[in-house]
Structures are given as C-alpha cells and as structure tokens.
Structure 1
Amino acid sequence: MDDADRPGNRPPEGQTGRTVDEKRQRRHQRQRQHQHQHQHQHQYQQRQYRQDQHREPRYRQDQHRQLQHRQHRRQQRCPHCTYPIADEPVQGTDDAPGPFCSEACRDGEADDEIVREHGYKRFPTGVEPLDALVPRGIPSNAFVLLTGDEGTRRSELTTELVWRALTRGEPAVIVAFNDPPIAVLERFFTLDWNLLPFLEMDRLRIVDCFTHRLEDRDAFQSTRNDWGQFVGGVAEDAVVAVRDPSDLREVASALERALDDLEMTETGVTVLDSIDEIDTLVQDRLLHNFVKDVRATVCKARFVPMFASATTSGDRAYPIDDEYVFDGIVDLRLADHIVPETRLTQLGVRKLVGAQFVPQWATYAVGPGRGLFTFDPATESTDVFTAGTGTGTGTEARFDGPSYGGP
C-alpha cells in the first residue's frame, strides 16, 4: 500500500479530493433543503385546509338545515289521520287548522269526518308471550294462523285472546267447529275466568257449527248436568246456530250476522276453531276460498282481526297449502332440548305482515286466572311446574319483560 493511500494520509486543501468538513457541509445543506421543502408543503396544505374550511360552512349549513327540515317533517303528524306527513304539508284553514298531510284530510277535518280512531291500526292482544314477541301490537286487519303440535295449548291461547278482548270492553265472536257452545264456554271457567257477566252484557257470540252435526241433538241437550243447563240458559241468546256446517256460505252468513249483532267494526276479536275440522268437511279449494272470503269481509273490510287454529300433525304443515292467504303465522311447538327430562311449550312468530316482531322463541306455560305467561326455562322451570297454578313457589315465576328460551 502506498503512503498516500493510508487512512491517516489525506490530501491537503487545494489538492484533489474533498475534506471531511466539506462533505459534512454538503450533507447539512441537503437536509436543510429537504426541511424547507417539507415546511413549504405543510404550509400549502394548511392554507388549502383553511380555504376549504372557509368555503364549506355555507354548504354544510344548508345541508344541515335540509336534514333538520326532513326530520321535522317526518316527525310531524297529520291531525286528522294521525300518520306522518310524508311530503310538503298542506296548510290548514280557519275551520281546520293544520298542517295536514293531504287536502283530503284537511277537508275531512273541516267536515268533522273523524277517522282518528286507532282500533284499525295495531293493538296489544294481552297475551304475554305473543305481546313479548310483537311489542308494537298486531295489525287489526290481520288474519293470523295459530299452528302447532297437539299439546301446545292452542285452545287456551284462542280462549285468552277472546277473554282479553272482553276485559278491554270489546266484543268477540267464536266460530266453533270442534266443540259445542257449552264446552267452549267451559274453557273460560277452567281458566278461572267468569264469563257470565259478559254474556249478560251481550258482548259475545258463538257461531255453533258443531251441534247440528249430531244425529240426536235433543238427547245431547238433555244429558247436560245442572251446571251445563244453567250456563246454556245464560248463553242461549249468544249462540248463532248453523244447520249445515259443510255449507261454508251458510257459515260465512252466520258470522256476518254475529258481527252485525255486536256492531263489530274496528273493534273486537274473532276466533275460528278450527281449520282442521273444516278441512274434514269440505274440499281444499272450498276451504281456501272460505279463508280468503272471510279475510276480505271481516279483517280487511271491518278491520276486525281473526285468529284461526290448526295443527301441524300429519303429512302437511298447514291445512291450506298457500301460506300467502294468511297475514300472520304463529308457530307453537314442543321443545325437549332446553331442560333435560322436560318437555316445554314455545311460541314463535313466523310471519306477520305490517308489524315488527322478535325472531325468537318464547317459552310459556298456562296458569288459571293468568292465562299464558312467559318464563326463563333455565332458572324458573321448577318453580313454574311444581306450583301447579303458574304462580310459583318460593321464587315466583313472574314476567318482568321478554324472557326467551331456545336457540
């Protein structure tokens, strides 16, 4: 190695090569240039941001005002029909102060055409497990199918639907194919519900599609015990007889008479018990048309809800193959997978047009004086079923809100 190439021997100043100081100065100069460029770029972005902030407020304020206006308009409700005002409101007059959703409502308000009754909208049934799954109520113009296995207490459910309507001060009609009127009335007394005052108040009609099927009706009437004869006498005016239950036109006519007697429009409940029995009397197409006709004349025209019971046992899931006929389908099932060695009953809403519902199963039991009630199967099963009355022993099985069991 030459002496000039050794690390300690550097070229003096003024000769070829650069000193360490020169390299350091050039490096610092490049760093300052980068810093200045970065600073200028940051300042430019800050100026652009300030300019954007200066230009945008008016646009954002306009957008915010428009949003507030739309929200306020949605919150406004027409004083005549009580529904939200969807478009620009119609100004009122001296006879009908507004704003209104339409000219028709404004004119109706001025003419005192009252339509603000809420009976035709949604209503709570009063049945705990059903109301827990449909918290905002069932549409009053709905035809609802209650379907489930044997042992799911469908009869108790339809009985309670009628009882809750009566206790609300509304009338009710039962179309009875499965049992005679005295047996239908006995279900209320079995649940510790005294139906006699409501029979005297003329709030109930039973369309009897069972008795006239018997070969010897007089013998059937004579075999009733004293209590049956007493209840039958009280309920005599409440029974609308059907001579030929296989003639569904006669059944529909008897139902219309019962509804007219009770002046049922936008009030009350109708129960059909059951579709399975009708299916044994007539062909499928006749049953299909009967359900469609009753749905149109009772539910849609009068705004009176109807609940029909059916069983899922057998080859078909429903007595009517077309599910679209029904506005709602409520499934009842037996479940033995939740609590070991225990078969529980559960209720779930499969379909309900025009209403929101909780897509879960509600576990329920039946107690005298209480009807159907929900409970937590994981913690309250022992108390519910050992009590015998549905009120519990020790830790009571009370209903403090929706309690759901199952998957």
Structure 2
Amino acid sequence: MKYVRTGIEILDKLLPDGIPRDNFIGFFGEGGTGKSVILYEILYRRLEMGEPGIFVCFEDVPRSIVEHMRNFKWDLLKFKNFRFLDCYSFRMENRISSEYIKILSRPSDLDALTEALFDTMDELSMDGKGIVVFDSLTELMTIANVPELVDTIKDWRARGPNERNVNFISSVHYGLKVFENIVDTFDYIMDGLIDLRYNPEAMKKGFL
C-alpha cells in the first residue's frame, strides 16, 4: 500500500507514514473548527509536490476560495494541473468560468456530477497520484437525494481511491439533526475519519 504525507506538521505527527493513497478521508466537526482550512492546506501541499488536484466546491464560489487561500500565502492559480468543479455558482445569475473552473448547472444531478468528476480526473491524468477535495458533503446533502448520495459516495470511493489510487478528502459538518443518520453512515463508508472539536479548557484561555 502506498502512502503520502499531508505536509501539515500536526497531521504528519499523528500519521507518520501518511495517508494511504487508496483512502477516502472525512474531516468531521462543527462549524468553525477549521475543517475547510485544513482541506485547503492539504490540497496546496499536494499541488506543491507536483501532483494534480480537484476542488469540488459546494459552499462558496472559486474566486472566494482562491482569495481566502491567498490570505495564507497559498496561490492556487500558479498550478496548471488544478481544476475547480464549481457546484455553487448555479445559484447565481453571473457565473464566471475559466480554464480552471468547470461550472455544474445542476449539481443535484449526481450522475452528471460523477461524470464531470471523473472526466476531469481523466483530463488531469489522475491515476496513482493526485487528490480530490469536497467541501462540503453536508451542503451536497441539502440539494441531493440522500439515499442516492450514499450510493454515489460508495461509487466515488470505488472508482477513485480504490481503482485509481487517488486520495479523496471531504469535510462533513456536525450539528444538523436532520442529517444525523446519514453522517453516521459516512463513518461506515469512508476509510478514515478525523474528528475536529472545540476544547473547552483551551477556549477559556482564548484558544480553540
């Protein structure tokens, strides 16, 4: 089994061998626990290694994500082997596409989303290398048929990490009661789970 390190010091201490390339990993936590920023950095470090990457965004437009990452000195646009699958801009009248952004008009159509995802992976020759980031699967749950989504995620895991040895990582939000059962299902269908939580004692001292 092949492993790849995240490039994030604390995660590499916890996972000294790195993450198996054939894994789908979920970052779970309440809002504000830093899930998205961790995904940003994992993606950026992998791109720095010369590997291809795809960011499937459900919660914000690519432009905002690019600007947010620049606040951390992470410039996505300098990489040629990177693409956005924009699953947010369908809500807007003015949609901005470019060579690195593919806008999906109906991301709730899971078959079309799956086709766009694997077509983009083929375009970037993602086999045995690269990473796909989903932020977040919770937002996708709000627009898609949930039972169908469970089967779709199983298919993604089989066709991406298992078949191609390409890491998939995603954020999943805790705290929405309507989705509690499906979130529990993710514990079962994903290969690994990293649970991010607030530390009450640290919060008293001004830290999370």
> What's the secondary structure of 1:321's corresponding residue?
helix
Cα distance, 1:295 vs. partner? 0.5
> What's the secondary structure of 2:120's corresponding residue?
helix
**Paired residue for 1:324, among 171, 188, 198?**
188
Match status 1:237 vs 2:99: yes
Q: Does the 8 Å CA contact 1:147/1:330 hold for their aligned counterparts?
A: yes
**Paired residue for 2:70, among 189, 192, 206?**
189
Residue 217 of structure 1 is matched in structure 2 by 94
Q: Write 1 or 2 for the structure with the bigger share of strand.
A: 2
Query: Could you give the per-residue CA deviations for residues 282-334 of structure 1, whole angstroms, max 9, x where no partner exists?
Result: 22201101110111111111100110101112325574332220000000011
- Tell which has more relative contact order, 1 or 2 (C-alpha 8 A, sep 6+): 2
**Paired residue for 1:289, among 134, 137, 151?**
151
| Distance (Å, rounded) in 1 between the aligned partners of 2:129 and 2:4 | 10
Residue 388 of structure 1 is matched in structure 2 by none
Cα distance, 1:136 vs. partner? 1.1
* Residue type at the aligned position of 2:72: L
> What's the secondary structure of 1:334's corresponding residue?
coil
Residue 136 of structure 1 is matched in structure 2 by 17
Cα distance, 1:265 vs. partner? 0.4
Residue 163 of structure 1 is matched in structure 2 by 44
The structure-2 alpha-carbon separation of the partners of 1:157 and 1:318, relative to structure 1 and needing over 3 Å to count, comes to farther
Unaligned stretches of 5+ residues in structure 2: none
Match status 1:203 vs 2:81: yes
Query: Could you give the per-residue CA deviations for residues 195-223 of structure 1, whole angstroms, max 9, x where no partner exists?
Result: 3321xxx2101011111232x225xx5xx
Query: Could you give the per-residue CA deviations for residues 134-179 of structure 1, whole angstroms, max 9, x where no partner exists?
Result: 1111110000010111111111111001100111111100111111
| Distance (Å, rounded) in 2 between the aligned partners of 1:277 and 1:169 | 30
Q: Does the 8 Å CA contact 1:146/1:307 hold for their aligned counterparts?
A: yes
Q: Does the 8 Å CA contact 1:171/1:203 hold for their aligned counterparts?
A: yes
Residues 240-319 of structure 1: pairs in structure 2 closer than 5 A: 240-315=102-177, 317=180, 319=182
* Residue type at the aligned position of 2:191: D
* Residue type at the aligned position of 2:90: H
Q: Does the 8 Å CA contact 1:213/1:244 hold for their aligned counterparts?
A: no
| Distance (Å, rounded) in 1 between the aligned partners of 2:134 and 2:74 | 20
Q: Does the 8 Å CA contact 2:66/2:75 hold for their aligned counterparts?
A: no
Match status 1:179 vs 2:41: no
Q: Does the 8 Å CA contact 1:284/1:320 hold for their aligned counterparts?
A: no
Unaligned stretches of 5+ residues in structure 1: 1-119, 222-231, 345-407
Match status 1:152 vs 2:33: yes
> What's the secondary structure of 1:237's corresponding residue?
coil
> What's the secondary structure of 1:324's corresponding residue?
helix
| Distance (Å, rounded) in 1 between the aligned partners of 2:145 and 2:57 | 19
Residue 197 of structure 2 is matched in structure 1 by 333
* Residue type at the aligned position of 1:181: P
| Distance (Å, rounded) in 2 between the aligned partners of 1:339 and 1:173 | 34
Q: Does the 8 Å CA contact 1:207/1:242 hold for their aligned counterparts?
A: yes
| Distance (Å, rounded) in 1 between the aligned partners of 2:9 and 2:181 | 25
* Residue type at the aligned position of 1:217: N
TM-score scaled by length of structure 2: 0.92
| Distance (Å, rounded) in 2 between the aligned partners of 1:302 and 1:184 | 27
| Distance (Å, rounded) in 2 between the aligned partners of 1:125 and 1:140 | 11
Q: Does the 8 Å CA contact 1:156/1:187 hold for their aligned counterparts?
A: no
The structure-2 alpha-carbon separation of the partners of 1:188 and 1:318, relative to structure 1 and needing over 3 Å to count, comes to farther
Q: Percent identity?
A: 32
Query: Could you give the per-residue CA deviations for residues 347-389 of structure 1, whole angstroms, max 9, x where no partner exists?
Result: xxxxxxxxxxxxxxxxxxxxxxxxxxxxxxxxxxxxxxxxxxx
